[in-house]
C-alpha cells in the first residue's frame, strides 16, 4: 500500500506525541515538520523526519503532502486550516479549532467547499473505556439516560503563560468533558449553568480564569449532567464517569499503572493514578490518528468533526457567560 504523506505543524507536548504515532504507522510517511522552536526542530530531525522547517507555509506549498496534523497554538488554527484546505490537504487539528463561533462556522464552510476532511482532536472518544460506555448506552444497557456525572481533575495547573492564551478552563480543559458528555448521551445540550471559583492559585484568577468549577448541563432528550473540574488534585489525574438510566448504571473508574493491592498493618495500598493525560490517554492518541488515516484511505467521514468542535465550544462559551452572569444560559443564546 502506498504511504499517505503527512506534514505536522507544532511540536510541543501534544505535537511530539502525534509525530511519534505517525512515524509508527507503516502506511504513513511523515515527510515534513514545522516549529519555530529550534529544540522542537532538533526533536523532529532526531525522529527522522526528512524535512524540518521553521514556518508552516512550506507544508502547504508541498504538492506531495496529502494531509496535515495541526498542533500549533489555537490562534494559528484558522490560518493553517484555510491554507491546508486551499492546498487540498486533509486536516487533523487539535482543539479548540478557534475561540469564536463565527470562525468555527467559517471553518466548516471552508472544508466543505474544499471537499477535504477535518478531524478534531477530542481524543477521549477513542479511549476504549469511554467508547465501551457509549456502545452500552447505544445498545440500551442502561435504558433511558437520566443522569451523567463526569469528574475531570488535573494533577497540577499549566503555566500562567499557557492559561493566558488557552481560552480559559472551559475552552481548554472542560471542552473535553463537554464533548464527552455529548458523545456518551447522544443528544445535544440545550442549557448550561456553571459555577467557577479560584481555589488553587490566585495567579490563575489574576489571568482572568478560574481553576475550580461545577457545570450542570441539560440535554434536549431530558438527560441532566454534572461536570466537576479542578486544575489540581493532590492524588493525581482524576478521570471518572458515570451514566445512570432507567435500567441501570455504567461507570468508569480511574486507571492505574497496574492493579496490584497490598494489605498490611499500615492499611490497604494501591498504585498511584497515571501521571497525566499523555499517560492516561496514550492509546487513545494512537487510535485517533489511526482512524483519521483510515477515514482518508476509505473515503469515509471522520469520527469527530468540526460540528463537534462547534458544539463543544458553544457549551464552553455558555459556561463562561453563566459564571459571569450567575444564571442558566440557553445554548441558543450563543
DSSP string, 68-113: EEE-S-GGGHHHHHHHHHHTT-EEEEPSPS-SSHHHHHHHHHHHHH
Q: Are strands 4-9 and 28-34 parallel, antiparallel or unpaired?
A: parallel
Positive or negative, the Cα torsion across 100, 168, 119, 35? positive
The DSSP element (H or E) to which 307 belongs, if any, is helix 306-325
C-alpha cell at 177: 468533558
Q: How far is CA 77 from the centre of its chain?
A: 14
Residue range 269-315, pLDDT digits in tens? 888 877 777 778 889 999 999 999 999 999 999 999 999 999 999 99
Instruction: Give the length of the chain.
Output: 334
- Distance, in Å, from the CA atom of 196 to the CA atom of 213, rounded to the nearest integer, reads 4
Q: Is 245 helix (H, G, I), strand (E, B) or coil?
A: strand
- Distance, in Å, from the CA atom of 103 to the CA atom of 126, rounded to the nearest integer, reads 26
> Is cis: bond before 96, omega within 30 of 0?
yes
pLDDT tens track, the chain, 334 positions? 699 999 999 999 899 999 999 999 999 999 999 999 999 999 999 999 999 999 999 999 999 999 999 999 888 999 999 999 999 999 999 999 998 999 999 999 999 999 999 999 999 999 999 999 999 999 999 999 999 999 999 999 999 998 988 889 999 999 999 999 999 999 999 999 999 999 999 999 999 999 999 999 999 999 999 999 999 999 889 999 999 999 999 999 888 878 788 899 999 988 887 777 777 888 999 999 999 999 999 999 999 999 999 999 999 999 999 999 999 999 999 9
Question: Shortest CA distance to 231 belongs to which of 273, 270, 202, 251?
Answer: 202
Amino acid at each position: 500500500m502506498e504511504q499517505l504523506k503527512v506534514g505536522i505543524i507544532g511540536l510541543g507536548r501534544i505535537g511530539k506525541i502525534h509525530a511519534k504515532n505517525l512515524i509508527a504507522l507503516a502506511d504513513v510517511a511523515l515527510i515534513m515538520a514545522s516549529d519555530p522552536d529550534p529544540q522542537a526542530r532538533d526533536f523532529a530531525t532526531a525522529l527522522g523526519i526528512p524535512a524540518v522547517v521553521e514556518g508552516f507555509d512550506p507544508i502547504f506549498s508541498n504538492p506531495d503532502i496529502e494531509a496535515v496534523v495541526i498542533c500549533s497554538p489555537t490562534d494559528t488554527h484558522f490560518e493553517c486550516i484555510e491554507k491546508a484546505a486551499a492546498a487540498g490537504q486533509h486536516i487533523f487539528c487539535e482543539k479548540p479549532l478557534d475561540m469564536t463561533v463565527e470562525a468555527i462556522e467559517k471553518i466548516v464552510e471552508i472544508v466543505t467547499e474544499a471537499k477535504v476532511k477535518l478531524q478534531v482532536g477530542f481524543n477521549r472518544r477513542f479511549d476504549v473505556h469511554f467508547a465501551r460506555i457509549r456502545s452500552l448506552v447505544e445498545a440500551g444497557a442502561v435504558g433511558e439516560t437520566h443522569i451523567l456525572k463526569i469528574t475531570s481533575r488535573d494533577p497540577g495547573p499549566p503555566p500562567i503563560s499557557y492559561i493566558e492564551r488557552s481560552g480559559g478552563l472551559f475552552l481548554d480543559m472542560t471542552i473535553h468533558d463537554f464533548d464527552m458528555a455529548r458523545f456518551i448521551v447522544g443528544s445535544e445540550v440545550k442549557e448550561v449553568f456553571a459555577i467557577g471559583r479560584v481555589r488553587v492559585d490566585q495567579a490563575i484568577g489574576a489571568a482572568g480564569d478560574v481553576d475550580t468549577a461545577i457545570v450542570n448541563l441539560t440535554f434536549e432528550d431530558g438527560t441532566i449532567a454534572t461536570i466537576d473540574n479542578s486544575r489540581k488534585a493532590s492524588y493525581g489525574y482524576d478521570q471518572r464517569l458515570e451514566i445512570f438510566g432507567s435500567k441501570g448504571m455504567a461507570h468508569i473508574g480511574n486507571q492505574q499503572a497496574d492493579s496490584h493491592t497490598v494489605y498490611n498493618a499500615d492499611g490497604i495500598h494501591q498504585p498511584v493514578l497515571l501521571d497525566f493525560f499523555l499517560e492516561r490517554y496514550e492509546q487513545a492518541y494512537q487510535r485517533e490518528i489511526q482512524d483519521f488515516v483510515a477515514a482518508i484511505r476509505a473515503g469515509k467521514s471522520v469520527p469527530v468533526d468540526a460540528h463537534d468542535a462547534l458544539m463543544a465550544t458553544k457549551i464552553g462559551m455558555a459556561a463562561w457567560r453563566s459564571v459571569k452572569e450567575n444564571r442558566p444560559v440557553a445554548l441558543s443564546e450563543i
